[in-house]
Amino acid sequence: MKHVRGVGEGHPALGVVLASVLFGTSGTARSFAPESASSLSVAGVRLMVGAIPLVVYGFLADSRNRPRLRIETVAAGAAMALFQVCFFSAMENSGVAVGTMLTIGSGPVISAFLDFFAGRRPSGRMLSALIAAIAGLVLLVNGSPAEGHTSFSTVGVAYGVGAGGCYALYTLLCKRLLDDGWSATWTMAWTFAVSAVCALVFVVPSPLGWLATTSGALTVAYLGMATISVAYLLYARSLSRLDGSLVVTLTLVEPVTATTLGAFVLDENIHAVSWVGAGIVVVALVVVGASAREESASPALPTTTA
């Protein structure tokens, strides 16, 4: 399929950085939804709203190259839907700070392992930057204002690592589709269409009266179109050109954005240690971004799989 050059395709890391900034606005946007809106119902409706523009855009911009559904597409869509459930369950069981750290911190590590077993070995500089970024994430999260309980629980840890694993698996499967010639547009359109169908499981039983309010409708419209439709098209642009582990690592821009918005938009009292952690994450990701061209050009390791 013909690959069309578009927004986010200057530096290969630019798309995922811009996408992660949009991801990072989700928490602030979510705060404007009515109190009656449960996190799972917001997440489910967000997936549904975000899938519609992606599918419509696919038919308008690339209808001739529409691929048929494959098992990887269904698995990727299911992984994204399960990510939503695990992420919110991790926060419910271990608190917002610990749940976020477990999810966002485990994702790049699991993705790096998946890339390694797929025959793609990250450079020493990439691994060092990943370790530094995760250390910065720990400082960033621990210096943020406490919400809910922050105790470690076996169930909370399992959900957090499970969420990170789901996101890494989603990235790996999408990378496989892109490498097989799928366009970024249809990769995102089909996987999120599947996610939207899966989301019915936890949307239908939830009270949805909050959607009839102005704040509720505007919130899910933004979350769906900005943090799903636009963000994941940008994400796919980078994923088509870089290793999955590198792309997932760059999504650590998300908590930095969320922390900054929390301080300046929501007036949260962010401690100094959080800003130090944010600085470490940014510096580490600059190193990752600077090596992106090298990673995209490095040869894959030979593999014994058929």
Query: Is residue 224 over pLDDT 60?
Result: yes
Q: Whole-model pTM?
A: 0.84
Query: Is residue 303 over pLDDT 80?
Result: no
Question: What are the residue boundaries of the structural domains of the chain, listed by start?
Answer: 21-297
pLDDT, tens digit, 9 for 90 and up, residues 19-40: 999 998 988 898 899 999 998 8
pLDDT, tens digit, 9 for 90 and up, residues 142-160: 766 655 445 557 888 899 8
* pLDDT reported for residue 193: 97
* pLDDT reported for residue 198: 96
Nearest to 223 by CA among 15, 22, 21, 19: 22
* pLDDT reported for residue 97: 65
Per-residue pLDDT band for 220 (boundaries 50, 70, 90) equals very high
155 versus 119: the higher-pLDDT residue is 155
* pLDDT reported for residue 184: 93
Give the range with max mean pLDDT: 108-117, 198-207, 259-268.
198-207
